[in-house]
Structure 1
Amino acid sequence: MTAPTTRPDGPRTWGTLAVGALVLGGALYADAGSLRSLLTVHERTVLAFVLAVTAGELFRLRMPSGRMAAPLASASALATAFVGRIHGEPTFDVDAGFVVLVVAGGLLLAAAVRWVRGRAVEIDQVAARLVGVGVAAWLTRGLGPEGQSLWDLEIDRTVPLSVIACVMAVVAAVGVIVEIMLTAAVQSERQRTPWSAALRDEIGEVAPLTFAVVTTGPLVALMAPVLGLLALPTALFPLAITYVAVGRYARNRQTYRQTIATLSRLTEEGGYTPRHHAERVADLSVRIGRVLGLSARELREVEYAALLHDLGQISLRDPIPGGATVLAAPSDQLDIAVEGARIIRHAEGLEAVADYVEAQTTPYRQVREFGDDVPVASRIIKVANAFADLTGRREDPSEVAAALERIHLGLGYQYDPEVVTALAVATSDAGAGRVDDRAAVAR
């Protein structure tokens, strides 16, 4: 899928960074006096967990949508919050603040390595993960019922380990949810996506990995009294194996997308449409879809349909000047859409995409006056294609404003007002002709 188009940081991003800074500052204030002694006593334990968190951050996982996840880092951080007795090592009898400092050490070390390598450092994700771990550590090592914390019950074994394990899993889930909520808030702000939609996508795509993260932390704590520090790599190994499966699936999805992008260039090679027109329409359609709160699966289908929306032009004897279908007669637009849909239906698994392409020329008045069922994806492509045709490759603000004004003339008749509003939002922070980095790589 097309990589997200982001805009400058806003209140939610700075708020996440501020909360992360407060958590880290509070931990430093609480443990400044005992930090050196704790590091001396738990030297090997701290080193093992710092390295595990660092490795998890450096070897992140690219999900099929392009979203980056670091399940190994999250699982290692949560394990730091839960671990108590460790075979061959002093009992990890520390407070929540020290846990935060250990995890912060791993996260910041990974950020430094990425920076040295010239890679992007998502400090907001570091802050979100730190806050989530801080919440889990406080719930685990803070005061509990009758003055005993969950960590105390784990050490004293006054409660069955099965109960302790279940409570740990619940606490880990709370920490992960806090991290996901903060990450979704930042993503919704940057991508102009409703927060509920961003949260849905964050939870939906990484749900299986989230379950593994939630269970891995308690598993390390329960294995450590027997295996010692070997419990950490042992418990993380099954989670690391999932990297292979998810990575292979993501590569297959990218190959599929590249195949569709190659097919979309038939009209370009034949001289029917300008270079990269399909990519521009797809990029803009995805941005509009994000503003409207479409799910990751819906965005993927919108992108595929947008890439193939002009495929029917290969049936034309005489190309449309500039390939601008928005300037063609309605009957010609319909013939192009129907022919494109007919071609697409020969490919297995693209039935919905073909339906979107076929319905892209339907005027919005058919929905408003006659109740026709025109998919929102088709309405998005209609608006995005019109904007791309009217602006071409020009990103001058006056050209963008003129294109928006022209589209507004057809508001409610040709174009869905809600989609046009989303178009204005999607084009307010980025050039209309922008093609994202991943799309460029696909070419």
Structure 2
Amino acid sequence: MSRTVVLLGLVAVCTGLIAAGNLLPTLLATHGHTLLLAVALVAGGELLRIRMPSGRETAPLSSAAALAVVLLGRIAGEPTFALESGLVVIVVSAGLAIAAAVRRARGDVVGTPALAARAVGVWVAAGLARGVGPSDGTLWAAQLSSTTSLALVALGMVVVAAVGLLTELVLVAGIRAERQRTPWVAAVRDEVGEAAPLTLAVVVTGPMVALMAPVLGLLALPVALVPLAMAYSAVRQYASNRETNRQLIGTLSHLTEHGGYTPEHHAERVAALCLRIGRVLGLGDRQLRSLEYAALLHDLGQISLLDPIPDGATVLAAPADQRDIAEEGARIIRQAETLDDVARFVETQTTAYRLVRELGEPVPLESRIIKCANAFDDLSRGTDDPVLVDAAMERIHLGLGYEYDPDVVDALTRVVEDASVGRVDGRSVVAG
């Protein structure tokens, strides 16, 4: 999928270069100020990326600036921005290329497929706005006509911006689904939904610029980005708060390690494995966050033990002891009023799957994932030794349908197989 997106991005850029021909010098002379500001805003927005709680990075300011360039027409004090759709792609790509060069100079990892997805989204939006219909009947031309309803033009701009942004998000989701083995539909849902306020703000910013430019001129570009920048700031603060919560949970999970109850980094390995299994099973970002918290705290109840379990391997403990540990951990977690779901996942993690199948026990999928991931780490001793990994998987398969949910085991098998060939994030799944 990544290669396909990059190829589409190259096609979009090459199409723009062909459309440009020998026009670039003329365009620079005619629209120099507009092009300079557009490239600067696209590049600047790309450099001001935001990292969401899920770890996904997004550049809403860059996307909004790019869509504004797509729709830009009349500009007070400047020539009408009458560019072919391919030339719009060149302008946006120039901004993305500058940002990529700056990020590489800073030592940042630059995701070429994601930038290519942005270029393709702009290509689609520009084609719809400037290339669909007769020369005097395109959406872009409609904004120049005094006989066309401005409300209809604005609505059309919002639709075009939404299609362009959705194209970008769908392509990025496809890349993510390929890399994380997440179902494509779930990846699209998370890509659109995690930062829904930003997504909506990006869609309306481009039309705002186009409608404000005949009055404000080039000042419309930065002015229209102000509301989005405010939303960006709020989402960034939200992401920072979530990261702080994650760090607090992570610190609490170390209590069992420092007390000598569990091996070092056991909780982190189980949490990482749970997240990978959860993605394969199509859990949403909110579910994954609660799953991660519960996985980090799944052994918290062990701090009540007078005699630690050998190696902290609860999978080898008696079922009654496993239940007592889980219930004690859940009791501690419930002291925090906002972690009720996390406590429930921890409390029911020891329930055998046969009780779900035969008696209809209400055991959440998250609990079944933790049960399987914890057993794998206990049995493999937290190493990537192929012998221990194979032995752990064999032991888990012996409990298939009785102790462990077959769907979860199947997802675990896929994750372990991917890890063995280095597919999962380029890191070993058992090494955390």
Q: TM (normalized to structure 2)?
A: 0.96
1:62-101 superposed matches below 5 A: 62-101=51-90
Q: Which residue of 1 aligns with 2:191?
A: 202
Secondary structure of the corresponding residue to residue 429 of structure 1: helix
Distance 1:432 1:402 in 2: 16
Aligned pairs, how many?
424
Distance 1:251 1:102 in 2: 33
Q: Which residue of 2 aligns with 1:417?
A: 406
Secondary structure of the corresponding residue to residue 381 of structure 1: helix
Secondary structure of the corresponding residue to residue 148 of structure 2: coil
Q: Which residue of 1 aligns with 2:424?
A: none
Of residues 338, 353, 361, the one that matches 1:349 is 338
1:180-191 superposed matches below 5 A: 180-191=169-180
* TM-superposed deviation, 1:342: 1.2
Q: Which residue of 1 aligns with 2:242?
A: 253
Contact 2:197 2:231 in 1 (8 A): no
Query: For the structure 1 residues 147 and 44, does the alpha-carbon distance in structure 2 shift closer, same or farther, using more than 3 Å as the test?
Result: closer
Q: Deviations over 1:142-190 (max 9, x none)?
A: 1426852111111122202222111101111110111111111110011
Amino acid at match of 1:317: L
Secondary structure of the corresponding residue to residue 384 of structure 2: coil
Amino acid at match of 1:432: V
Query: For the structure 1 residues 113 and 236, does the alpha-carbon distance in structure 2 shift closer, same or farther, using more than 3 Å as the test?
Result: same
Q: Which residue of 1 aligns with 2:124?
A: 135
Distance 1:39 1:125 in 2: 28
Moved more, 33-42 or 350-359: 33-42
* TM-superposed deviation, 1:367: 1.2
Contact 2:195 2:235 in 1 (8 A): no
Amino acid at match of 2:413: A
Contact 1:400 1:432 in 2 (8 A): no
Amino acid at match of 2:367: S
* TM-superposed deviation, 1:416: 0.6
Distance 1:372 1:298 in 2: 20
Q: Which residue of 1 aligns with 2:358?
A: 369
Q: Which residue of 1 aligns with 2:415?
A: 426
Distance 2:79 2:32 in 1: 10
Q: Which residue of 2 aligns with 1:46?
A: 35
Amino acid at match of 1:110: A
1:133-172 superposed matches below 5 A: 133-144=122-133, 148-172=137-161
* TM-superposed deviation, 1:267: 0.7
Secondary structure of the corresponding residue to residue 152 of structure 1: helix
Contact 2:46 2:96 in 1 (8 A): yes
* Structure 2 segments unaligned to the other structure (5+ residues): 420-427
* Structure 1 segments unaligned to the other structure (5+ residues): 1-11, 436-443
Contact 1:388 1:432 in 2 (8 A): no
Q: Which residue of 2 aligns with 1:28?
A: 17
Amino acid at match of 1:61: I
Q: TM (normalized to structure 1)?
A: 0.94
1:287-302 superposed matches below 5 A: 287-302=276-291
1:305 aligns with 2:302: no
Task: Please report the RMSD computed on the Cα atoms of aligned residues, expressed in angstroms.
Answer: 1.2
Identical residues among aligned pairs (%): 60
Amino acid at match of 2:37: A
Distance 1:414 1:79 in 2: 55
* TM-superposed deviation, 1:328: 0.9
Secondary structure of the corresponding residue to residue 404 of structure 2: coil
Q: Which residue of 2 aligns with 1:386?
A: 375
Contact 1:392 1:433 in 2 (8 A): no
Distance 1:266 1:117 in 2: 37
Distance 1:348 1:232 in 2: 44
Amino acid at match of 2:79: P
